[in-house]
Structure 1
Amino acid sequence: DVILEIDVQGAASVRGTGLDSVSVFIIPPSFEVLRGRLGGRSTESAEALALRLNNSRAEVEQYREFDYVLLNDELERAAAQLAAIVYAERARRERQEPLAQRVLATFPPASRAL
Protein backbone atom coordinates (compact mmCIF):
# COMPACT_ATOMS: atom_id res chain seq x y z
CA ASP A 1 0.00 0.00 0.00
CA VAL A 2 1.13 3.53 -0.75
CA ILE A 3 -0.50 6.57 0.82
CA LEU A 4 -0.08 9.90 -0.93
CA GLU A 5 -0.98 13.19 0.71
CA ILE A 6 -1.92 15.30 -2.30
CA ASP A 7 -4.31 18.09 -3.18
CA VAL A 8 -7.41 17.72 -5.34
CA GLN A 9 -5.43 18.40 -8.52
CA GLY A 10 -2.94 15.68 -7.63
CA ALA A 11 -5.78 13.26 -6.89
CA ALA A 12 -7.28 14.01 -10.30
CA SER A 13 -3.91 13.26 -11.89
CA VAL A 14 -3.69 9.91 -10.08
CA ARG A 15 -7.24 9.00 -11.17
CA GLY A 16 -6.29 9.91 -14.73
CA THR A 17 -3.50 7.32 -14.79
CA GLY A 18 -5.97 4.44 -14.70
CA LEU A 19 -3.99 2.78 -11.93
CA ASP A 20 -5.87 0.95 -9.18
CA SER A 21 -6.29 3.58 -6.49
CA VAL A 22 -8.58 4.53 -3.64
CA SER A 23 -9.12 8.18 -2.86
CA VAL A 24 -10.01 9.68 0.51
CA PHE A 25 -11.05 13.31 0.82
CA ILE A 26 -10.14 14.66 4.24
CA ILE A 27 -12.63 17.39 4.99
CA PRO A 28 -12.32 19.98 7.77
CA PRO A 29 -15.22 20.33 10.22
CA SER A 30 -15.86 23.90 9.08
CA PHE A 31 -14.34 26.91 7.35
CA GLU A 32 -13.60 28.49 10.72
CA VAL A 33 -11.70 25.44 11.92
CA LEU A 34 -9.73 25.33 8.67
CA ARG A 35 -8.86 29.03 8.98
CA GLY A 36 -7.73 28.53 12.56
CA ARG A 37 -5.60 25.51 11.71
CA LEU A 38 -3.92 27.09 8.72
CA GLY A 39 -3.37 30.39 10.51
CA GLY A 40 -2.04 28.66 13.61
CA ARG A 41 0.71 26.95 11.67
CA SER A 42 2.39 30.23 10.70
CA THR A 43 4.03 28.46 7.75
CA GLU A 44 2.63 30.71 5.02
CA SER A 45 2.64 34.38 4.23
CA ALA A 46 -0.58 36.30 4.77
CA GLU A 47 -1.07 36.42 0.99
CA ALA A 48 -0.57 32.67 0.57
CA LEU A 49 -2.93 31.97 3.46
CA ALA A 50 -5.59 34.27 1.97
CA LEU A 51 -5.25 32.51 -1.39
CA ARG A 52 -5.64 29.07 0.20
CA LEU A 53 -8.69 30.17 2.13
CA ASN A 54 -10.21 31.78 -0.97
CA ASN A 55 -9.72 28.51 -2.87
CA SER A 56 -10.88 26.27 -0.02
CA ARG A 57 -14.57 26.16 -0.94
CA ALA A 58 -13.78 25.14 -4.52
CA GLU A 59 -11.52 22.39 -3.20
CA VAL A 60 -14.07 21.11 -0.67
CA GLU A 61 -16.68 21.02 -3.44
CA GLN A 62 -14.52 18.35 -5.11
CA TYR A 63 -15.34 15.80 -2.40
CA ARG A 64 -17.73 14.01 -4.77
CA GLU A 65 -14.78 12.96 -6.93
CA PHE A 66 -13.35 10.83 -4.12
CA ASP A 67 -14.20 7.30 -3.01
CA TYR A 68 -14.41 8.19 0.67
CA VAL A 69 -14.88 11.35 2.74
CA LEU A 70 -13.24 11.50 6.15
CA LEU A 71 -14.09 14.25 8.64
CA ASN A 72 -10.90 15.58 10.21
CA ASP A 73 -12.24 16.61 13.60
CA GLU A 74 -10.70 14.22 16.14
CA LEU A 75 -7.29 12.78 15.31
CA GLU A 76 -7.79 9.33 16.83
CA ARG A 77 -11.22 8.84 15.26
CA ALA A 78 -10.03 10.06 11.87
CA ALA A 79 -7.00 7.76 12.03
CA ALA A 80 -9.23 4.82 12.95
CA GLN A 81 -11.54 5.60 10.03
CA LEU A 82 -8.60 5.78 7.64
CA ALA A 83 -7.35 2.42 8.91
CA ALA A 84 -10.84 0.96 8.45
CA ILE A 85 -10.88 2.19 4.84
CA VAL A 86 -7.49 0.60 4.18
CA TYR A 87 -8.57 -2.72 5.72
CA ALA A 88 -11.89 -2.74 3.86
CA GLU A 89 -10.21 -2.00 0.54
CA ARG A 90 -7.71 -4.80 1.09
CA ALA A 91 -10.62 -7.21 1.64
CA ARG A 92 -12.48 -6.28 -1.55
CA ARG A 93 -13.36 -9.37 -3.57
CA GLU A 94 -11.36 -8.20 -6.56
CA ARG A 95 -8.23 -7.96 -4.43
CA GLN A 96 -8.87 -11.31 -2.73
CA GLU A 97 -9.49 -13.28 -5.93
CA PRO A 98 -6.12 -15.11 -5.82
CA LEU A 99 -6.71 -16.12 -2.20
CA ALA A 100 -10.25 -17.31 -2.90
CA GLN A 101 -9.05 -19.32 -5.90
CA ARG A 102 -6.30 -20.95 -3.82
CA VAL A 103 -8.81 -21.95 -1.15
CA LEU A 104 -11.33 -23.15 -3.74
CA ALA A 105 -8.67 -25.38 -5.30
CA THR A 106 -8.44 -27.32 -2.02
CA PHE A 107 -12.09 -28.42 -2.31
CA PRO A 108 -13.08 -31.54 -4.27
CA PRO A 109 -15.40 -31.07 -7.26
CA ALA A 110 -19.05 -30.67 -6.26
CA SER A 111 -20.02 -34.15 -7.50
CA ARG A 112 -17.41 -35.78 -5.23
CA ALA A 113 -17.76 -33.62 -2.11
CA LEU A 114 -19.38 -36.33 0.00
Structure 2
Amino acid sequence: MLHTWLYDKYGTARAPHRCYWQSLLPTERVVDWFEWQAGYASGALLMPESFARRTVEAYFQHRFERPPAAKGSPEASALCHRISLAFDVSVEAATVRLSQLGYLTE
Protein backbone atom coordinates (compact mmCIF):
# COMPACT_ATOMS: atom_id res chain seq x y z
CA MET A 1 0.00 0.00 0.00
CA LEU A 2 2.94 2.34 0.56
CA HIS A 3 3.80 2.26 -3.13
CA THR A 4 0.24 3.34 -4.00
CA TRP A 5 0.42 6.27 -1.58
CA LEU A 6 3.84 7.34 -2.86
CA TYR A 7 2.73 7.10 -6.46
CA ASP A 8 -0.42 9.11 -5.77
CA LYS A 9 1.61 11.74 -3.94
CA TYR A 10 4.59 12.01 -6.30
CA GLY A 11 3.52 10.36 -9.54
CA THR A 12 2.59 12.26 -12.66
CA ALA A 13 -0.47 10.23 -13.65
CA ARG A 14 -3.72 12.14 -13.97
CA ALA A 15 -5.83 9.36 -12.51
CA PRO A 16 -5.07 7.80 -9.11
CA HIS A 17 -2.88 4.72 -9.29
CA ARG A 18 -4.52 1.42 -8.44
CA CYS A 19 -2.68 -1.64 -7.20
CA TYR A 20 -3.75 -4.68 -9.20
CA TRP A 21 -2.67 -7.16 -6.57
CA GLN A 22 -4.76 -9.95 -8.09
CA SER A 23 -2.23 -10.19 -10.95
CA LEU A 24 0.77 -10.62 -8.63
CA LEU A 25 2.09 -13.95 -7.39
CA PRO A 26 1.28 -15.95 -5.32
CA THR A 27 -2.28 -14.72 -4.81
CA GLU A 28 -3.83 -18.20 -4.66
CA ARG A 29 -2.38 -18.81 -1.18
CA VAL A 30 -2.30 -15.28 0.21
CA VAL A 31 -4.47 -14.90 3.29
CA ASP A 32 -3.41 -11.39 4.28
CA TRP A 33 -2.32 -9.20 1.37
CA PHE A 34 -0.64 -6.61 3.62
CA GLU A 35 1.39 -9.32 5.34
CA TRP A 36 2.46 -10.71 1.96
CA GLN A 37 3.57 -7.25 0.81
CA ALA A 38 5.57 -6.75 4.00
CA GLY A 39 7.24 -10.14 3.58
CA TYR A 40 8.03 -9.47 -0.08
CA ALA A 41 9.53 -6.05 0.62
CA SER A 42 11.49 -7.31 3.62
CA GLY A 43 12.94 -10.17 1.59
CA ALA A 44 14.00 -7.79 -1.17
CA LEU A 45 15.55 -5.43 1.36
CA LEU A 46 17.41 -8.08 3.36
CA MET A 47 18.41 -10.21 0.35
CA PRO A 48 19.18 -7.86 -2.57
CA GLU A 49 18.85 -9.57 -5.93
CA SER A 50 22.44 -9.05 -7.05
CA PHE A 51 23.90 -10.47 -3.83
CA ALA A 52 21.44 -13.35 -3.76
CA ARG A 53 22.29 -14.24 -7.38
CA ARG A 54 26.01 -14.21 -6.62
CA THR A 55 25.47 -16.42 -3.58
CA VAL A 56 23.41 -18.89 -5.60
CA GLU A 57 25.99 -18.91 -8.41
CA ALA A 58 28.74 -19.63 -5.89
CA TYR A 59 26.64 -22.44 -4.41
CA PHE A 60 26.16 -24.13 -7.80
CA GLN A 61 29.69 -23.46 -9.04
CA HIS A 62 31.13 -26.91 -8.24
CA ARG A 63 27.94 -28.96 -8.48
CA PHE A 64 26.50 -31.04 -11.27
CA GLU A 65 22.99 -29.70 -10.68
CA ARG A 66 21.89 -26.39 -12.13
CA PRO A 67 19.10 -24.07 -11.01
CA PRO A 68 16.20 -24.10 -10.66
CA ALA A 69 15.93 -26.71 -7.93
CA ALA A 70 12.64 -28.44 -7.15
CA LYS A 71 11.09 -27.28 -3.87
CA GLY A 72 11.40 -29.95 -1.23
CA SER A 73 14.41 -31.59 -2.87
CA PRO A 74 17.64 -32.03 -0.90
CA GLU A 75 19.34 -29.58 -3.27
CA ALA A 76 16.66 -26.92 -2.66
CA SER A 77 16.81 -27.45 1.10
CA ALA A 78 20.60 -27.07 1.12
CA LEU A 79 20.39 -23.95 -1.05
CA CYS A 80 17.74 -22.37 1.19
CA HIS A 81 19.84 -23.14 4.24
CA ARG A 82 22.91 -21.57 2.60
CA ILE A 83 20.99 -18.40 1.73
CA SER A 84 19.52 -18.32 5.23
CA LEU A 85 22.99 -18.40 6.77
CA ALA A 86 24.49 -15.94 4.27
CA PHE A 87 21.83 -13.28 4.83
CA ASP A 88 20.91 -14.10 8.44
CA VAL A 89 17.23 -14.69 7.62
CA SER A 90 14.87 -17.57 8.26
CA VAL A 91 14.85 -20.57 5.95
CA GLU A 92 11.25 -19.68 5.07
CA ALA A 93 12.26 -16.15 4.02
CA ALA A 94 15.12 -17.56 1.97
CA THR A 95 12.73 -20.01 0.29
CA VAL A 96 10.33 -17.21 -0.66
CA ARG A 97 13.12 -15.03 -2.05
CA LEU A 98 14.65 -17.88 -4.05
CA SER A 99 11.22 -18.66 -5.47
CA GLN A 100 10.73 -15.03 -6.44
CA LEU A 101 14.08 -15.01 -8.22
CA GLY A 102 13.30 -18.23 -10.09
CA TYR A 103 15.79 -20.53 -8.37
CA LEU A 104 13.11 -22.84 -6.96
CA THR A 105 10.27 -24.53 -8.81
CA GLU A 106 7.15 -26.32 -7.64
Q: TM-score scaled by structure 1?
A: 0.31
Largest Rg, 1 or 2:
1
Q: TM-score scaled by structure 2?
A: 0.33
